């Protein structure tokens, strides 16, 4: 197997891991609160990455300066995960996966704001088209029609806000990763974000209790390791080998894998209209990639 093929498989592995993570959040929503899931998934993902680092580098991935540089991204990751998981609890997992792809469009806007040399893109008709398609897709997934009129899918709205927060997280990561080892830094970020959920998880456990069934708990631990630990590790490998643009394009398959997982594990089905608006967000994101991703 060629090295380039390995990078392509890593990009697909990231998509498959992320898609499974979204579905498992929904699958386990009856057993754990939002904060219990987030603490366990993030903390053990960070722990997993630290073990991988120790085995591959034979040194401690943590130091005071690294934790200082990880603070702001950890806060962004905390709010992203809080909003995204809450949204998944309230809507279909597959709809949430489509909505999360909106982060690419938001990232393109942030690139326009942050980088002066990129501000010319606002006059590009293709960029305007990508924003329009994204807004139409968001409107279609957010507004639900029925015999009693229209209502708003609050879960989708929360996931949309989470997508904005992930774009902020990406900008912060790009800044702080310049002089960092990606594996060690990711471990520090996710470990810190996980610890931020600890007080909330403990508070939830007072009234909700904590599901201690070995099989269910093992599934939750596996969810964090696969979707956050392995998913982000695979993504780093693919970006290192293929650059940022190509993996991001390949990973647009994530929502469609989520649809498959959701059908198998949850019995969820998307209507034709929901799928159409989801595809509009994907098209918008693909167009925006040329502005959002800087190799």
225-238 tens-digit pLDDT: 888 888 877 877 77
Buried b or exposed e, range 262-284, using 16+ CB within 10 angstroms: beeebebebeeebbebbebbbbb
Give the whole-angstrom CA distance, residue 161 versus residue 103.
Answer: 9
Q: Which two tokens stand for residue 38?
A: 């987030």
Averaged pLDDT for residues 23-38: 90
Percent pLDDT > 90 in the chain is: 14
- Per the prediction, the chain carries an average pLDDT of 81
Confidence class of residue 149 from pLDDT cuts 50, 70 and 90? low
Runs of H (alpha helix) within the chain: 3-27, 34-57, 64-90, 93-100, 103-114, 125-142, 154-176, 182-208, 214-223, 231-242, 245-250, 254-265, 272-292
Q: CB-side exposure of 38: number of CA atoms within 13 Å?
A: 29
Residue 293 near residue 110, CB atoms below 8 Å: no
Handedness of CA 6, 11, 14, 19 (dihedral sign): negative
Model confidence pLDDT, tens digit, residues 101-141: 877 777 777 766 666 555 555 567 777 777 778 778 777 77
**Any idea which of 49-53, 143-147, 173-177 has the lowest mean pLDDT?**
143-147
Q: What is the pLDDT of residue 147?
A: 45
Domain positions in the chain: 3-105+155-269
pTM for this predicted structure: 0.82
Q: How many residues does the chain have?
A: 295
Instruction: Work out whether the CA dihedral 279, 10, 263, 160 comes out positive or negative.
Output: negative
Q: Averaged over 272-284, what is the pLDDT?
A: 83
Q: Is 179 exposed, middle or buried (0-12, 13-18, 19+ CB in 10 A)?
A: exposed
Nearest to 283 by CA among 98, 97, 20, 17: 98
Residues 6+ apart with CB under 8 A from 215: none
Average pLDDT over residues 192-206: 90
- The answer to which of 46-50, 157-161, 206-210 has the lowest mean pLDDT is 206-210
Q: What is the mean pLDDT of residues 143-160?
A: 73
Q: Which of 14-28, 74-88, 107-121 has the lowest mean pLDDT?
A: 107-121
């Amino acid at each position: 197997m060629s090295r380039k093929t390995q990078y392509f498989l890593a990009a697909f592995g990231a998509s498959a891991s992320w898609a499974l993570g979204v579905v498992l959040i929904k699958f386990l929503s009856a057993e754990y609160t939002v904060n219990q899931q987030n603490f366990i998934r993030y903390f053990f993902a960070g722990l997993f990455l630290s073990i991988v680092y120790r085995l591959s580098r034979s040194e401690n991935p943590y130091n005071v300066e690294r934790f200082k540089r990880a603070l702001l991204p950890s806060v962004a990751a905390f709010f992203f995960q809080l909003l995204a998981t809450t949204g998944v609890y309230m809507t279909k997992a597959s709809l949430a996966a489509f909505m999360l792809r909106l982060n690419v469009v938001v990232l393109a806007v942030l690139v326009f704001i942050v980088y002066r040399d990129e501000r010319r893109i606002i006059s590009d008709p293709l960029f305007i088209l990508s924003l329009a398609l994204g807004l139409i897709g968001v409107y279609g997934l957010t507004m639900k029609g029925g015999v009693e009129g229209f209502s708003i899918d609050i879960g989708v709205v929360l996931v949309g806000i989470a997508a904005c927060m992930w774009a902020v997280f990406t900008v912060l990561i790009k800044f702080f990763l310049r002089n960092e080892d990606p594996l060690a830094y990711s471990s520090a970020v996710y470990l810190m974000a996980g610890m931020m959920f600890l007080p909330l998880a403990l508070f939830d456990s007072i009234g909700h209790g904590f599901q201690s069934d070995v099989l269910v708990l093992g599934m939750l631990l596996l969810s964090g390791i696969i979707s956050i630990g392995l998913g982000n590790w695979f993504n780093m490998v693919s970006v290192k080998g293929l650059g940022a643009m190509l993996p991001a394009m390949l990973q647009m398959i994530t929502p469609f894998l989520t649809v498959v997982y959701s059908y198998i594990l949850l019995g969820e089905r998307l209507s034709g209209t929901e799928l159409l608006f989801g595809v509009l967000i994907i098209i918008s994101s693909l167009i925006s990639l040329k502005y959002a991703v800087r190799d």
